[in-house]
Structure 1
């Protein structure tokens, strides 16, 4: 089980990691974003397995602040990735349509 200070430190480090994820998304560095997301998931699992049930006082406020920053970063990442995902989905759909047309009418 982690101490209260270790928990707060873990949340602060996790918030820093989500900041790096936001920067990767802003840079359009999707490969780095995926790698950082995998690291983030590992940190979250570690916290879930070792965090004490409740924090109080200053530790609770620090944890809440770190979570707010992570949520802000997550919102920004989604704002940046959604248009990219929509373009990718459109490309995949168009490729599927082209294949169906080619099968139906033959190659031109």
Structure 2
């Protein structure tokens, strides 16, 4: 039995999302961005293919399982990136505070 193009696309998307999840877990942000772009490109292609082909019941069930896994991976990615964003925000705030303090010293003492 050959796998339909929509199912192949969902399987590829699932694989990419799993790789993105691993990149997020391991803090590999550049890899995550590269994979996200690949996912975006694939989703654009998938929209037309998904409309054109009617799936049988087994294929629809498989597609549903793949979508559930994709959504689960997406949730994990969001959790990891939100943690990273909070850490980045804390660092940025600390840097900004140091800059403001330096500016105050420079204004006051001309240093």
> Which TM-score tier does this pair reach, normalised by the shorter chain?
0.7 to 0.9
**CA displacement at 1:56 relative to structure 2:** 4.7
TM-score (norm 2): 0.81
SS across alignment from 1:59: helix
Consecutive aligned runs of 4 or more in structure 1 exceeding 6 Å deviation: none
5+ unaligned residues in a row in structure 1: which ranges? none
SS across alignment from 1:51: helix
**CA displacement at 1:57 relative to structure 2:** 1.2
RMSD: 2.1
Larger Rg: 1 or 2? 2
5+ unaligned residues in a row in structure 2: which ranges? none
For 1:97, the equivalent position in structure 2 comes to: 97
For 1:61, the equivalent position in structure 2 comes to: 61
Asked whether the 8 Å contact 2:5–2:49 carries over to 1, the reply is: no
Give, in whole Å, the separation in 2 of the partners of 1:93 and 1:48: 41
Give, in whole Å, the separation in 1 of the partners of 2:56 and 2:46: 17
TM-score (norm 1): 0.83
For 1:70, the equivalent position in structure 2 comes to: 70
Give, in whole Å, the separation in 2 of the partners of 1:49 and 1:101: 55
Give, in whole Å, the separation in 1 of the partners of 2:55 and 2:83: 38
Give, in whole Å, the separation in 2 of the partners of 1:26 and 1:101: 35
